Amino acid sequence: MPEFSPSPDGGAVAVRSLAARLADARQQMAALDLPSPLAARLNRQFIAVCDSVKAAGADEQAAERRLAAFLAKLEQANARAAGQRNANDNP
């Protein structure tokens, strides 16, 4: 089994920051009022992002890009769902 050793350039700090951003993303997702199919799809994507971070030999920059892409999709989904809710509220 390979041994883990943080990179000398502050990799451990970056990992903690990434973990905090993942936790924030999870809280944002939980706070949204999304339709069930969309929420399930976003949850699966979030799990895939988390799994990619935990994979052996995970690339930190790739993890950051995946998280950024997920956050963008989350924001789009929220805007779309909010628009649909507003359309339903205004007859």
pLDDT higher than threshold 90 for residue 27:
yes
Range 58-72 burial, b when 16+ CB lie within 10 A, else e? eeeeebeebbeebbe
Mean pLDDT of the chain: 82
| pLDDT one-digit tens code per residue, 41-57 | 999 999 999 998 888 88
Q: Tell me the CA distances in angstroms from 80 to 17, 48, 50, 62, 77, one per residue in order.
A: 29, 22, 24, 27, 5
What pLDDT band is residue 84 in, cutting at 50, 70 and 90?
confident
pLDDT at 32: 87
pLDDT higher than threshold 70 for residue 83:
yes
pLDDT higher than threshold 60 for residue 10:
no
**What torsion do the CA atoms of 81, 87, 89, 91 make, to the nearest 10 degrees?**
-160
